[in-house]
Amino acid sequence: MQITLQNIGRRFNREWIFRGIDYSFGDNSSYAILGSNGSGKSTLLQVLNGSLAPSTGKLTYTRIGEEIEPEKIFNYLSLAAPYLELIEEFTLNEVVDFHFKFKALRSGLDKAAVLDILGLAGSRNKAIRYFSSGMKQRLKLVLAFCADTPMLMLDEPTSNLDTQGIDWYLSLIQQYSVGRLTIICSNQEHEYRFCKHQMSIADYKDAPKK
């Protein structure tokens, strides 16, 4: 899976969040999008995953040499982010069942394996509204990791995780990011230190129009 950005920019009202981005995210590699809080890295990730349209420029997705239409790109990616909502009325069982109606499980995994990886099998009948913020973050991550998609996008992946949770995240990254285009938005080195490439959103704050 590849994503090519040509003169990409995004603005809100008259303020440019970023502009002039010419960049390629290559197949089966890992990238960190870096920036301080409020710098626009989450906005860029939303442009990359198709939930926001760029204000200017062209975004191209290709897989095995074939171009994919932007409105279909959600079929090819898994996302975990603080702003991603879970259905609070559902139980853990129901959330897992619902999610994997739309995304295929990775080879060798089933529902029992997902719950085992999550480490919350004892809460399978508990409504999500009663989960702690850390439990919810673990759930978001495991749903993304365990889906069989060629792209994995994570925004501030260790938000609300304690030290044990961070170690859990790093062990899953080693196993479940292999063979996928992985993009992580972060300003904490432990979240992205494994990434082969880094881009700073600050480099595209004052880029001139082309």
**Per-residue pLDDT tens for 9-35?**
999 998 999 999 999 999 899 999 999
The per-residue pLDDT for 121 is 84
Class of domain 2-204: alpha beta
Give Cβ neighbours of residue 207 (< 8 Å, ≥ 6 apart): 9, 18, 19, 20, 21
The mean pLDDT of 166-194, rounded to a whole number, is 96
pTM above 0.85, yes or no: yes
Domain boundaries, the chain: 2-204
Which tens digits make up the pLDDT trace of 60-77? 999 998 999 999 999 999
pLDDT score for 145: 98
- Give the whole-angstrom CA distance, residue 63 versus residue 95: 29
